[in-house]
Amino acid sequence: MMYSDKVMDHFQNPRNVGTIENADGIGQVGNPVCGDMMTFYIKVKDDKLADIKFQTFGCGAAIAVSSMVSEIAIGKTLDEAMKITNSLVAEELGGLPKNKLHCSNLGADALHAAIENYRKRLTSRGEKAEPEAPDLHEHEGAACPYCDGPLDEEAGEYCRACQIELEECPSCGEITKKDADVCIHCGAPLKK
């Protein structure tokens, strides 16, 4: 399958590229299998996404997905932005080749991680702590397929680095995001 005109437009002319100094939230996810890495930076005002920037290291589809996610999310409330799904992103781009569907997972997940990072830094008085980039480091043992962070038995099927719940894909047996529509590795449907 060829890329749609919309995918090519967002790849060649990505919107909202960059970083935000003193971001309210930072979310970073990656896929060590394909090498794509996405970082989203957000500014929040009145519970809405006032500004979004991203940096993506990856293929054309990953860049297009990041651009589209930023466009869909800007101006939305945090709760509305948390409802952005990989299928919505792929649909807005006019479809993605099957072997690139994992990119739409990464884009939505990176935005969600930035929002979760923002929410966790709010204190009971409503003050913000300084943002910290997620700790994604080399390790031994099981690894999160989204950020390559370590998975340990204490955390169960939960990645502490990117803060997502994981489950085993019944089709290929690899670890993928819980409640995702499709497996990040084999593309098999996961919803029952």
Give catalytic residues, as residue numbers: 34, 103
The span from the CA of 130 to the CA of 135, in Å, is 15
The span from the CA of 28 to the CA of 56, in Å, is 10
Q: How many CA atoms lie within 13 A of 80 on its CB side?
A: 10
Beta pairing partners, 42: 25, 52
Continuous H helices in 74-173: 78-82, 86-92, 101-120
Please give the DSSP secondary-structure letter assigned to residue 150. B
The span from the CA of 90 to the CA of 77, in Å, is 21
> Is 56 strand, coil or helix?
strand
> How far is residue 189 CA from its own chain's centroid?
19
Task: Note whether 114 and 41 are within 8 A (CB).
Answer: yes
The span from the CA of 110 to the CA of 39, in Å, is 6
User: Residue 132 phi/psi, 5° resolution?
Assistant: -125, 135
